[in-house]
Amino acid sequence: MSEKRDSGGLKLALEVLRPWRLRLVGLNLLGLPQVGLGVFLAWAVGYGVDRFLTETDGLQALIPLFLIGLFLVRSGFGVFIQYLSLNLGSRIHLALERRTFAKLLKIPLLDAVGTGEAATSLFHDCAFYAHGVIELDGTLVISLLQAAGLWVYLLVLDWRLAAVVAVAVPVFLLPLHFILRRLRRVSGEFYAENQIYWSRAVDATRAPRLLRGAGAQDSEFRFFSDSGERRRRGMLRQAKYHFLAGPLGEIFAACAIGAAFWLGVDLLGRLAGPVGAQGLSLGGLGSAAVTTVWLLGALKGVFGAAGGVQDTLVMQGRLVKIWGTADEELEGPEPPEWRVLEAENLTFSYPDGAEVFRGVNLALKRGELVHLAGPSGAGKTTLARVLCRLYEPTGGRLHLDGKPLTDYGLGPWRLKTTLVDQEPEFLPGKLADAVAYPDAAGDTGIGELLREVGLGELSREITSGAPELSGGERRRLALARALFHRPELLVLDETTSYVDAELE
C-alpha cells in the first residue's frame, strides 16, 4: 500500500515538474563540459610537470600560466552553472508556490487546511522542495558525472589506482544507505513538528481576543516553547545525519588517496618494476594525485547531495497530499431565473461520520422571507452552507424549479447566493474594499450603503480578520457586502441579533 502511494506521489510530482524537464536535462548536459574540463585539467597537470622537467624550449614559463588559466576557466564555468541552477530553482520555486496556492483556493471547503498549515506548505515546503530538485539535478547528477569521468581517467592512468577506488565504493555505500534511511525518517519527524510550530503560531496570533479572553497567553506560550524545543532537537538530529553523510565521502576519498599512492609507489615497483616501466611518470603521478583529489570533491558532493535528496522526498510527500486533493468542479451552466428552491430529504454528515441533520424538507420561494428557528447545534449554520453549496449534502437533493441543482455550475450558483456567517471573514484594506470585494471599490453607492448600516468611514482601515471592529460592526460590514452584491438568495446566520432594532 505504501509503495503504491509513494509511486503515485512520484508520478504526480513528475507531472508537476513536467514544464521544467528540458531545462533540468539541459542543466545536466552543461555539466558534461565541466567534467571534460576537469579531466583535461588533470591531464594538463601531468603533461605540464613532465614538460617543465624535460623540455628547455623556453615555453616552460608559460606552463604555470596555462594551468592557472585552465583552473580559472573551470572555476568560472562552475560559477556559471551555479547561477543557472539558482535561476532555474527560483523559477521552479515560484511555479510550485503558484500551483500550491491555486490548489488551496480550489479544494472543497471541508478539505481546506488550517491557515497556519496552508502558509507553512506554501512558503516553507515549496522552497525546500525547489531547492531539493535543483540539488538533485545540479549537484548530485553533475557530481556523479564528474566522479565517473575522473575515475575513467584514473583507469587510463593505471588500472590498479582505479581498482582501489572502485573496491572502496561498496564498503562506504552500506553505512551511507543506513544513514540516508535514518535521515529520511528523522527529517519527516522534524518537518512535521516544524509545521505544528509555525501553524500554531500563525493561528494563535490571528485570534488575539480569544487568547486574552480565555487568559490563555501563558498556556499558548508554553505550547509554543515546548514545540520549539522539540523542533530544535529534531533539527539537531537531522543535522547529525547530514553531517555524517558529508564526511563519509571525505573519509572514503582520503582512504582511496592513501591506498592509491601506496599502490602506485610500492606495488607498481614490486609487480611491474620501476614506475617508469609502467608508463607512469612523475607527471603521471601528479596527474593521478590531482585526479584523486578532485574525485574526493566530487564524491563529497554526491554524499552531501544524497542527504539533501531525503529532505526533498519528505517535502514531496507533504506537497503531494495537497496537489492530489480533488478540485471543486466550479464550471457548469448558469442557473436561469428561478422561482422555488426546494430541499428534498436533505441529509448532511461530516467526513468523520458525525451526522448534523437528516430528512430536511423545505421550499424557499424567490423574494420570500423565511425564518428558520431551532436550538443551538441543530444544524442551522450547516444547512445554510448547504443551500449556498459551500457544502454538498451527503443525502437527498436540492431542486431549482423541479430540476436538480447539481445540473447547474457550482460557481455560477455561488455567485447568485450570499451567506452572511456568524463569524464573517475579511481581508486587509479599507471598509469600502471589504464591501466591494472581490470587485474594485468605486463610486457605486458604497458610502451610502455603509452609512445605512452605521459604518460611515469609507477610508477606515482594517487588517486581516478585522479585529479592530466589534462583533456588531463586523456583522454590519458583512451585511453591507451582501447587500452591495444583490444576491438572489441571501442567507443571514443570526446576523441581525447583533444589530439594533432600527437597522433590523
pLDDT one-digit tens code per residue, 377-391? 888 888 988 998 988
Distance CA 96, CA 73 (A): 34
Mean pLDDT of 40-57: 72
**pLDDT at position 4:** 46
* Mean pLDDT on 51-62: 64
- What's the average model confidence in pLDDT over 455-469? 62
Residues 6+ apart with CB under 8 A from 150: 35, 38, 39, 42, 291, 294, 295, 298
d(CA 439, CA 111): 27
Is pLDDT above 60 for 135? yes
Residue 266 is predicted with a pLDDT of 52
Confidence of residue 252 (pLDDT cuts 50, 70, 90): low
Contacts of residue 398, defined as CB under 8 A and 6 or more positions apart, other chains included, come to 341, 342, 343, 344, 346, 386, 387, 389, 404, 405, 406
194/124 Cα distance (integer angstroms): 10
What's the whole-number average pLDDT of the chain? 76
pLDDT, position 234:
84
Residues in CB range of 389: below 8 A, 6 or more apart: 398, 405, 410, 413, 414, 417
**Distance between CA atoms of residues 84 and 104, nearest Å:** 30
Peptide bond into 438 cis (omega under 30): yes
Residue 236 above 70 pLDDT? yes
**Do the Cβ atoms of 230 and 196 come closer than 8 Å?**
no
Q: Is the pLDDT of residue 242 over 80?
A: no
> Is 70 exceeded by the pLDDT of residue 114?
no
pLDDT at 274 (0 to 100) = 44
Residue 335: strand, helix, or coil? coil
User: CA-CA distance, 101 to 56, in Å (whole number)?
Assistant: 69
Q: At what angle do helices 159-205 and 141-157 cross, to 10 degrees?
A: 170
Separation between Cα atoms, residue 416 and residue 486, nearest integer Å: 8
Question: In the structure, what pLDDT confidence band is assigned to residue 436 with cuts at 50, 70 and 90?
Answer: confident
Helix segments in 263-281, DSSP class H: 268-272
More confident residue, 339 or 142: 339
The more confident residue out of 435 and 205 is 435
Q: What is the mean pLDDT of residues 435-452?
A: 76
What is the average pLDDT across 307-334?
A: 81
Sorting pLDDT into bands at 50, 70 and 90, what band is 282? low
Residue 461 sits at φ, ψ, to 5 deg, of -90, 145
Q: Which of 387, 382, 380, 392 is nearest to 417 (CA)?
A: 387
DSSP 422: S
- pLDDT over 70 for what percent of the chain? 76
Decide: 419 and 478 in contact? Cβ < 8 Å.
Answer: no
Q: What is the pLDDT of residue 3?
A: 44
Query: Looking at the predicted structure, is the pLDDT value of residue 272 above 60?
Result: no
Binned at pLDDT 50, 70 and 90, residue 291 comes out as confident
Separation between Cα atoms, residue 125 and residue 320, nearest integer Å: 11
Amino acid at 470: S
Mutual angle of helices 282-323 and 21-54, in 10-degree steps: 170
Backbone angles phi, psi at 361, to 5 degrees: -130, 130
Q: Does 211 or 156 have the greater pLDDT score?
A: 156
Does residue 15 have a pLDDT over 70? yes
Domains of the chain in sequence order: 2-323 (1.20.1560.10), 339-407 (3.40.50.300), 416-504 (3.40.50.300)
Question: Residue 498's pLDDT band (boundaries 50, 70, 90)?
Answer: low
Sign of the Cα pseudo-torsion (197, 200, 206, 208, in order): negative
Rounded to whole angstroms, the Cα distance separating 199 from 212 reads: 19
